[in-house]
Amino acid sequence: MSDLEWHLDGGVGTITLNRPEARNAFTFDMIGEWARLLDEARRDDRVKVVVLTGAGDKAFCSGVDLGSISNANQGLTPLQRKSQLHDEIHKVALAVDALDKPLIASINGVAVGAGLDMALMCDLRVMSRSAKVSEGYVRVGLTPGDGGAYYLPRLVGTSKALELLLTGDFIDAEEALRIGLVNRLADADQLAAVTGALAAQLAAGPPVTIRMIKRATYQSAGTDLRTALDLISSHFAVVAATEDAAEALAAMREKRSPNYLGR
């Protein structure tokens, strides 16, 4: 069995961190494969949605496997330590940023540090009611190394993000939902089904429209109103001219399910 597994079914591609004995901590070897899978999912028209989860019911991801890098860390210069993050671990964040298809984190268990950051960089998060999450870096004297200081304030606001980052406190699923860190909760034995239903709903939508909506949302968050409106008018014009847009209107008039072709 691979430490990182990929499964494609019904337009939904699932990446599973498969190291339950290590609380699904990731290694450097996994990072390259992880980024490659995301890049292939971006380019594969069969993939409509991607789900990220962990194996087992104890952990989503406990961050980087410290045991796998402890020896390599001895004697590293600050520049070498920076390169470990920027040139290796950050490959996943950059691959996620390039993915214009919905990415859902299915948080099946504890998520800590970079493990939580890997969930935060996803578009949507479904969390088991039995799971807990923590940024955790401050507890080991480190700054958030995998985008937590970027993603968390955008989800929960600056003040709440600072509280979680500065204390390293764990929060449970109900609190995560309350503050907007996750979108939906599910009982542990229903998490896969709830996540699967959400992924299937998105995968059944018009692919070009779904991708344009995701692009427009993130583009608009980083620009001014006039630029955002200019961008969306272009996106709208392109989408309105697709066969899928015509099919959506025809299906609505004829009171039937649409058959989208992605063009």
pLDDT in tens, 1-56: 699 999 999 999 999 999 999 999 999 999 999 999 999 999 999 999 999 999 99
CB 60 within 8 A of CB 18: no
CA 239 to chain centre: 25
> Per CATH, the architecture of 207-254 is what?
Orthogonal Bundle (1.10)
Domain boundaries, the chain: 4-203, 207-254
Cβ atoms 249, 230 nearer than 8 A: no
Decide: pTM greater than 0.85: yes
Beta strands in the chain (DSSP E): 4-9, 12-17, 49-54, 59-61, 103-107, 110-112, 124-128, 132-134, 171-172, 184-186
**Which two three-digit tokens encode residue 243?**
């066969």
**Angstrom distance (rounded) from CA 48 to CA 41:** 8
pLDDT tens, 167-217?
A: 999 999 999 999 999 999 999 999 999 999 999 999 999 999 999 999 999
The token pair that represents 236 in the structure block: 């709208």
To the nearest 5 percent, what fractions of the chain are helix, strand and coil? 55, 15, 30
DSSP assignment letter at 140: G
Q: How many CB atoms lie within 10 A of CB 232?
A: 17
Q: How confident is the model at residue 253, as a pLDDT?
A: 95
Mean pLDDT along residues 139-149:
93
Q: So what's the architecture of 4-203 in CATH?
A: Alpha-Beta Complex (3.90)
